[in-house]
Structures are given as structure tokens and as C-alpha cells.
Amino acid sequence: MSCGISKAEFLEEEAPRLEKWLNNNSHGEMKYMENHFDKRLDPTKLVDGSKSVISLLLNYYPSEIQKDVTAPKLSKYAYGNDYHHVIKTKLKALTHFIQEEIGEVHGRAFVDSAPVLDKAWAAKSGLGWIGKHSNLLTKQVGSFYFIAELILDLDLQYDGVTTDHCGSCTACIDACPTQAIVEPYVVDGSKCISYFTIELKDQLPMDMKGQFDHWMFGCDVCQDVCPWNKFSKPHNEPLFNPHPELLEMTKKDWEEITEDVFKKVFQKSAVKRTKFSGLQRNIKFLKE
């Protein structure tokens, strides 16, 4: 786990970017992105009296991936237990430790489930830079990790930002199956395979047929092709290990998946978010 600290203050540079992104309707049907605009940009509006944002990264890069290369693909972050629960437990332990060491400290823990711009805070605290695919990148371990925050009413020493090391590389832009990276550092969320397979609750648009590159839940293409991910190392968090059957499932197994198998394999997984019917819809879309 990596840790960086930044001052809890208004994200001045992010404000016009977020406004433009929303105005362009890059969030598609994710209407919740329009809510709490001020809170997304200012942690002091989210947590009273907050002074510091502690950003944390937790690696989820697996040691093995799905065996059948023809099978529908699952984003690597969803192999193991739902990261929200795993990380929340760790953040509670960290908060408890801080309170034991320092005394009365108030704040909140966030794991991708509140109006917090995770990547912006992680970059501000020196943990990496935002790559052209809009994910946070580090020279040491690439981009396969979760981001979480503790926003506290505690003055701390702040870290400085790091530099951008994407250079002239356009690997992620060139490889995106749906051309969702509309310009360097800008992703049109409404064109992203992850959006279609997870966020979109309606029928999948027919004009996207054949463009999903076999992804049934999420998509890792822009991360898989990134040169910095050559440095990714397998995680050492047992809770992120996949269900034993998951990596062995063949294309046929996925196409014939039953609700019982879904419940067994994804009992504690983030895949439950799309529900059995959603996963079935995605697999069928790849098949026809």
C-alpha cells in the first residue's frame, strides 16, 4: 500500500475540467455524477473542519488471469472480494491507529462510493500522475490499484505533486476498442466498455456490436497496453484472490452460466453490482 498526503482545499484545476466533462455529457446515464458538484471539488464541504486528505493505493494486480483466451473477459479488479469492503476494513483500522497515537481525530473514509475525485487527490499527494487514459500512473507499479482516502481534521505535512511521464506515447488511445479516449487525458465515459457493461442498465446499443473485444464486465485494455504496467507486480492480499473456479471457466461455461454458479463464483465480488441478468445480457451481446 502507498500513502500520500495533501491539503484539504478546493481543487481549482479540476473544477473547469469536471464542468466541461459533464456539459459534454461524457457521463452518459451516470446521472449521479451531476450531484454534489461542490463537494466533489472541496473536501471541507464533505467533512466539516477537514484539513488533510490522506490518499492510499492498494495493488490488485493478479498473479494469474483467465485461462481460456476465447472466453468473455472480466476486469482484473473484480477477480476477488469486493474492494469496497476490503479497503473500508483497512481504513477503519488505520483511523483507529491514528486516534490511538494522536488522540481525538475526526474524519471519514472513502472508497469510490462518495463524491470524491480519487485520482485528483492521489495525484495532488504525489502518488502518481494522471495518464492519457485518465487513470493514475506510477513509475514503480503502473496503474493496477485501488484508490481510497481518509479526510481528517488533522494538520499534517503535505507531499508535492510528481511529474507526468506519458511523453509522446499514445498506446492507450490507439488501443481503446471503442475510441473512448477522445483526446489525451479525456475519456468519454459514455463510450467506455466499463460503462456499457457495468453502469448502463438499459439494452446495449447495437452500434457497439462487435466492439467490446470480449469484455463482459469492465475493461482493462488501456491499462494492459500501457508500458508502465510492465512493472506491475502481483498483489499479496488474499481477499483479492479469485474464486478457484473463476479462472478455469471456458467460453462455453460462461455462455451457459446459471444463477447458482454466478452466486457461488461471485458471492463476495463487485460483479454482483451488475446482477446475474446484467452479466447474462453482456455475455449474450458478445455472442450474437
Give the residue numbers annotated as catalytic, written as ranges.
112
Sorted by sequence, the CB contacts under 8 Å of residue 253 that are 6+ apart come out as 71, 261
9 grid coordinates: 482545499
**3-state secondary structure at position 34:** helix
255 grid coordinates: 455462455
Straight-line distance from the first to the last Cα atom of the chain, in angstroms, rounded to the nearest whole number? 42
Sorted by sequence, the CB contacts under 8 Å of residue 80 that are 6+ apart come out as 60, 86, 237, 239, 240, 241, 242, 268, 269
Cα dist from 64 to 4, 44, 76, 84, whole Å: 29, 41, 10, 22
CA 276 to chain centre: 21
Give the residue among 94, 195, 193, 224 at the shortest CA–CA distance from 151: 94
